[in-house]
Amino acid sequence: MNFVPKRLRSRRAAQLAAGALVVLVAIGIGGYIYEKNRTGSVFPHPHAVFIPQKTAAADDSPKEVFKWPIYGYTKDHLRNFAAPADLHPPFKQLWMQSEGALLEFPPVLYGERLFQLADDGVLATIDIHNGHFIWVRKLGALSASTPAVTATTVFVTLYSRSKGVEAGRVVALNSATGKVRWSRELPSPSESSPLVDHGKVFFGSQDGTVYALNEHNGSTVWTYHAAGSVKASPTLKDGNLYFGDYSGNLQAVAERNGHLQWRSGSEGALLGSGTFYSTAAVAYGRVYLGNTDGRIYAYDQRTGSLDWAVQTGAYVYASPAVANAPGLGPTIYLGSYDGNFYAINARTGHVDWTYDGHGRISGSATIVGNIVYFADLGTKETTGLNISSGHAVFKFPHGTFDPVIADQNTIYLSGYGELFALQSAPPAPPRTARTASGH
């Protein structure tokens, strides 16, 4: 053993400490430079493709079965329901049901039943008329997604299939009885809301695997392996699935076989930023989604080239809602962790208006008619804004993440652990004019 004098050992320690300080300072300066260069908006590409599309008209015709079957309502995840004209605030509360656990994601609806998956892994089926439970099943220990439902089956992804197990599960249940049709264990957690199309169930997972499973028996049709966790629900449009990952990449893969069509980056995951949690919306020939680097991105749907990016003041976990707003035209809506809610021109990226929520907006908004609803994680309330002006037309003292779905008669609003059914209140009867004598 070599003897090192105490004085020399002290000198070496001081040198190591000084060296470590230099490294930390260098990292800090590098981080500042990275943040300075990374942040800021990206101006629209002058030749970027933008494809106009028709505005969905409100459908007041009666339907045998109304469906809100997946997260985001439609497979392109526009989060936009063209509601009948009479479904608007002020609302009266029809019923309230306490779930007993955090409701991070909204339910789905098929006919007269809601299917709500709480964060404790419990799936509850609820009667839309009175809020009563029809059946309840404990499927795992932890979940953070919305189910998908068809006429006969409800599909659920789980983050943890049992307490202390960092691995998930996907389950298909009889929607009428809750009986398990098939179940499949996953090697990693999943918090990706499933999407069902043409006999296949699509979802992502923590280890970056995106699955296409047979709807009827859970067998693998294909898998795709992303470079980072896929937490969003895959978005389907024109035969391709679109999703971001935690490596900072957005990709399009073929629905039929999972083959990669294109991949496009943001800024990567350096210093814990540049990851995609947001579920994409696909409209106007573009793919829109938020990123934890604080930006809202628009990519070309065909090629993945960046059309524009808008910088907010903090993380953007939220998924966009899309509408052709009267007076504004094609617009996307979503909130940021900076507490602001944004209406952004879908073609140019220009911010048309903002609304200060005075809190932290983490969850996604939904458009019902001409009102966009969002919840604020800081204030624990839900706000409804006119999609054209940004003026508040609705306030409700409950709401945390992703608050609203609807049918033709009712708004179903998720609070922290409660589900509310709200219906439009009838107008107050006109006051009868009194005579001068008071009669």
Q: What is the pLDDT of residue 425?
A: 85
Alpha-carbon distance of 270 to 336, in angstroms, equals: 20
Q: What is the pLDDT of residue 428?
A: 62
CATH number for position 319? 2.130.10.10
**What number is the average pLDDT over the span 340-361?**
96
In this structure, is residue 35 part of a structural domain? no
Q: Label residue 82 by pLDDT band (50, 70, 90).
A: very high
Q: Considering only 43-52, 95-104, 225-234, 389-398, which range has the smallest mean pLDDT? A: 43-52
Please identify which residue in the block is written with the tokens 């809506």. 333
Short-list 318, 221, 248, CA closest to 279: 318
Structural domain total, the chain: 1
Q: What is the pLDDT of residue 350?
A: 95
Dihedral sign, Cα of residue 291, residue 294, residue 296, residue 300? negative
Classified as helix, coil or strand, 76 is coil
In this structure, is residue 197 part of a structural domain? yes
Tokens of 151: 């006429």
**What number is the average pLDDT over the span 136-154?**
97
**What number is the average pLDDT over the span 331-344?**
97
Does residue 341 register a pLDDT over 60? yes
Q: What is the pLDDT of residue 11?
A: 45
In this structure, is residue 50 part of a structural domain? no
In this structure, is residue 405 part of a structural domain? yes
In this structure, is residue 430 part of a structural domain? no
pLDDT in tens, 201-240: 999 999 999 999 999 999 999 999 999 999 999 999 999 9
**The dihedral formed by the CA atoms of 19, 24, 29 and 35, expressed in degrees to the nearest 10:** 160
In this structure, is residue 437 part of a structural domain? no
- Per the model's pLDDT, the better-predicted residue between 198 and 434 turns out to be 198
Q: Which domain holds residue 210?
A: 63-413
Helix, strand, coil percent content, the chain, rounded in steps of 5: 10, 40, 50
In this structure, is residue 433 part of a structural domain? no
Mean pLDDT of the chain: 88
